[in-house]
Structure 1
Amino acid sequence: MRDERVLVTGGTGFIAQHCIIALLRDGYQVRTTVRSLSREAEVRQQLKTGGVEAGERLSFVVADLAADDGWHEAAAGCTYVLHGASPTPTGDKAGEDDWVRPAVEGNLRVLRAARAAGVRRVVLTSAFGAICAGHRKPEHRPFDETDWSDLTGDVWLYQKSKTLSERAAWNFIDREGGDLELSAINPVAVVGPALGKDYSHSIRLIKNLMDGQPGSPKVNCGFVDVRDVADLHVLAMTHPAAKGERFLAISGDSLWMADVARVLRERMGAAASKVPTRVLPNWLIRLGALKDPTMRGVVPLLGLDMNATGEKARRLLGWTPRPREEAIVAAAESLVRLGLLKETA
């Protein structure tokens, strides 16, 4: 067992739990934050589903991004911090103050605690949403780490919160970080194996297809396996070349949702019997968005090429992600295995 302890924030999160699994398998001691210790048993069970008995190598501490309490205790004695916890307000009434301010203040709260505790490096889980959004005239080239979302364009509050909170983290390091180092990971749609009912929004895309949604919108998306995202966090945590860098996490080129549906039909057999073959016309999506708030965010993405490159992580860190098709199928298989799909009537 290594002597080094790593703090992973937001231990109930999908990416966070896979990061904990990767760290425990590498021999690290891990501490994770939860908003209530009542979630500890659930987290341990989901880690077990992922193949790891955490035992005493994993400890829990209560801390909330909205308050200072618990963060200095959480960071104390840790060599590294993987910070993926982020506020996710719910409901149609959630506004900018619900999304942006908590994300920015949460990042700064964690960074201050890490600096005070003498942490060596923080790896921030940012998002592709901090890179790809709001560009009025997308150039015909893959997005890369030099791109930042244009907040004067058409962006969701989620994308705005991710952009401003990541910028706030880099500004903190530049101005008052001291010896604290920072790396950022910007994943595209994160799929791969779910560990329980709490999984990524991206896996919901797979679930909706498997459950038989009416068709596939003309939306383009990059995909990456959560296990590879976790591996990239661990690489960025220790690799000298990762200091001060952001890394886009994507496996291969992006896919249209119709391509994702085809992968599922080809690879999942009878379990994919309800996956649609139809491509939904753009006008139908726009019409549906007038009544369904969950569809409104799709409208600005219709027809846009959202391809990106993970070349930097491969070149600098030696990152080797699984094929995108394998990640998509792993998500679908886990939904079947855990009984999370709608039952056929």
Structure 2
Amino acid sequence: MPTPTEVLAKAVAKRPPKPIKAKVLLTGGTGFIASHVLDCLLRHGCEVVVTVRSEEKGERVMQSLDEKVAALVTTAVVANIAQDGAFDEVLKSTPFDYVVHTASPYQLRFDDPVKDCLDPAIKGTTGILRSIHAHAPTVKRVVITSSSAAILCPPDHPDVYDESFWSSVTWEDAMDPAKAYVASKKFSEQAAWAFVEDNATTFSLATINNSYTFGPLQRSLASLDDINTSNKRIYDLARGAMRDGIEPTAPVFTFVDVRDVALAHVRAMSVPEAGGKRFYVVSGFFTNHRICGLLRRHFREVYDNLPPLSDELGNDDFPIVHWGFDNSRSKDVLGIRYMNLEQSIVDTVKSILALKKATEPEKMCGIW
């Protein structure tokens, strides 16, 4: 039986969104989060220019759109976001009201941490802010996709995290390729706040610090080989990659649905009180074992790919002592009413099966 909060969330979700008559620049257009931000912007009636890394990626975005909203979208190629002035031309092209910057490298390991991760993240962020400051005087608010990685401080976790915390990772730590991503999120976000403070910008800044992000795949995804990192654990369970044993959930046990993340970006963009604030966007806790249980309950077609029931029930690795989170700012200021784990996982798997049916119909008889 749904809780009163879940009933309210469903009721709110069915209401037509309040129109936002605005022109928005959205970076990283083919990305998982950006795709859902684009959907959310279009539902609010915004005109959107989407940056992509190539003409081919731009065509993929446009082909994925419903023809009813395609006229509201154009694409612009920004091949290298770390290059000086990379966003100058697109920002000169039209008077934008808002910028939503999601473009940033996301890998767990890099051959060259500075070249492959830190530079693109930090220079890409400060570069777009510099271009907005110089060439886009009409922009009122910039929203940047940061990460809970910029907040969490392992292994010395506090009892409860909120937006006041910053990761303890150092630049020296960042030279370890395994820690480069976490460092890139911290240092690029800090660079953004410093830029706004040091340059007396006419626009305000807000950041979205989302946790592990599940949810339906982006429309423009060409293949399940390119599935985003968070959703990959769901895909691996469904296709039998953990049939012989469920992999450890660590290091992160918190999640959020991408549709809540997208709405948080749009609300952070348009709600006046959101300016100058970070938002820790997290819904709740998960483990791979709990995801496995939801797959077993809802998807008979993947049942034979799952590990033994005894493994699922007997080895949930959620820590006995675990830090908590305070997401009240996102609820109070942005009005987010978070989806629960079950809804997020079910909708994610439905989208995975739909893409599989479209791209590999010969493998839809339980043979993954």
Under a length normalisation based on structure 1, what TM-score does the superposition of the two structures give? Answer: 0.84
Q: Distance in 2 between matches of 1:18 and 1:33?
A: 14
Instruction: Encode CA deviations 1:36-92: one digit per residue, 9 max, x unaligned.
Output: 1121221123344xxx74322111111131223551222231110000001246975
- Report the CA distance shift for 1:97/1:243 in structure 2 as closer, same or farther (over 3 A): same
Deviation at 1:324, TM superposition (A): 2.2
Q: Does 1:188 align with 2:211?
A: yes
Check whether the contact 1:224–1:250 (CA below 8 A) recurs between aligned residues: yes
Q: Does 1:110 align with 2:147?
A: no
Q: Does 1:243 align with 2:271?
A: no
Check whether the contact 1:254–1:307 (CA below 8 A) recurs between aligned residues: no
- Report the CA distance shift for 1:142/1:331 in structure 2 as closer, same or farther (over 3 A): farther
Question: Which SS does the other structure have where 2:126 is aligned?
Answer: helix
Check whether the contact 1:183–1:237 (CA below 8 A) recurs between aligned residues: yes
Check whether the contact 1:132–1:149 (CA below 8 A) recurs between aligned residues: yes
In the other structure, the counterpart of 1:334 is 351
Check whether the contact 1:217–1:281 (CA below 8 A) recurs between aligned residues: no
- Report the CA distance shift for 1:94/1:302 in structure 2 as closer, same or farther (over 3 A): farther
Task: Give 5+ residue unaligned stretches, structure 2.
Answer: 1-18
In the other structure, the counterpart of 1:16 is 34
Question: Which SS does the other structure have where 1:33 is aligned?
Answer: strand
In the other structure, the counterpart of 2:91 is 75
Deviation at 1:167, TM superposition (A): 0.5
187-196 or 120-129, larger mean C-alpha shift: 187-196
Instruction: Encode CA deviations 1:177-235: one digit per residue, 9 max, x unaligned.
Output: 42121000011111111132344211111111112213131525212111111111110
In the other structure, the counterpart of 1:131 is 151
Deviation at 1:321, TM superposition (A): 2.1
- Report the CA distance shift for 1:125/1:91 in structure 2 as closer, same or farther (over 3 A): closer
Partner AA of 1:157 in structure 2: A
Question: Which SS does the other structure have where 1:151 is aligned?
Answer: coil
Question: Which SS does the other structure have where 1:59 is aligned?
Answer: strand
- Report the CA distance shift for 1:94/1:344 in structure 2 as closer, same or farther (over 3 A): farther
Q: Does 1:56 align with 2:87?
A: no
In the other structure, the counterpart of 1:296 is none
Deviation at 1:32, TM superposition (A): 0.9
**1:206 corresponds to which of 230, 234, 247:** 234
Q: Distance in 1 between matches of 2:330 and 2:293?
A: 29
Partner AA of 1:65 in structure 2: I
**1:157 corresponds to which of 170, 180, 197:** 180
In the other structure, the counterpart of 1:94 is 112
Q: Distance in 1 between matches of 2:282 and 2:22?
A: 29
**1:35 corresponds to which of 53, 58, 63:** 53
- Report the CA distance shift for 1:263/1:308 in structure 2 as closer, same or farther (over 3 A): farther
In the other structure, the counterpart of 1:255 is 286
Q: Does 1:270 align with 2:287?
A: no
Two-structure CA RMSD over aligned residues (Å): 2.8
304-313 or 21-30, larger mean C-alpha shift: 304-313
- Report the CA distance shift for 1:321/1:87 in structure 2 as closer, same or farther (over 3 A): same
Under a length normalisation based on structure 2, what TM-score does the superposition of the two structures give? Answer: 0.79
Instruction: Encode CA deviations 1:245-289: one digit per residue, 9 max, x unaligned.
Output: 0111111x212221222122222233343122436999xxxxxxx
- Report the CA distance shift for 1:72/1:206 in structure 2 as closer, same or farther (over 3 A): same
Partner AA of 1:125 in structure 2: T
Check whether the contact 2:58–2:77 (CA below 8 A) recurs between aligned residues: no
Question: Which SS does the other structure have where 1:67 is aligned?
Answer: coil
Q: Distance in 1 between matches of 2:192 and 2:300?
A: 45
Q: Percent identity?
A: 33
- Report the CA distance shift for 1:248/1:224 in structure 2 as closer, same or farther (over 3 A): same
Q: Distance in 1 between matches of 2:60 and 2:205?
A: 30
Question: Which SS does the other structure have where 1:305 is aligned?
Answer: coil
In the other structure, the counterpart of 1:297 is none
**1:321 corresponds to which of 338, 346, 364:** 338
Q: Distance in 1 between matches of 2:338 and 2:73?
A: 26
- Report the CA distance shift for 1:280/1:97 in structure 2 as closer, same or farther (over 3 A): farther
Q: Distance in 1 between matches of 2:300 and 2:323?
A: 29
Q: Distance in 2 between matches of 1:215 and 1:266?
A: 17
Q: Distance in 1 between matches of 2:101 and 2:188?
A: 12
What is the number of equivalent residue pairs in this alignment?
322
Task: Give 5+ residue unaligned stretches, structure 1.
Answer: 283-300
Q: Distance in 2 between matches of 1:261 and 1:184?
A: 32
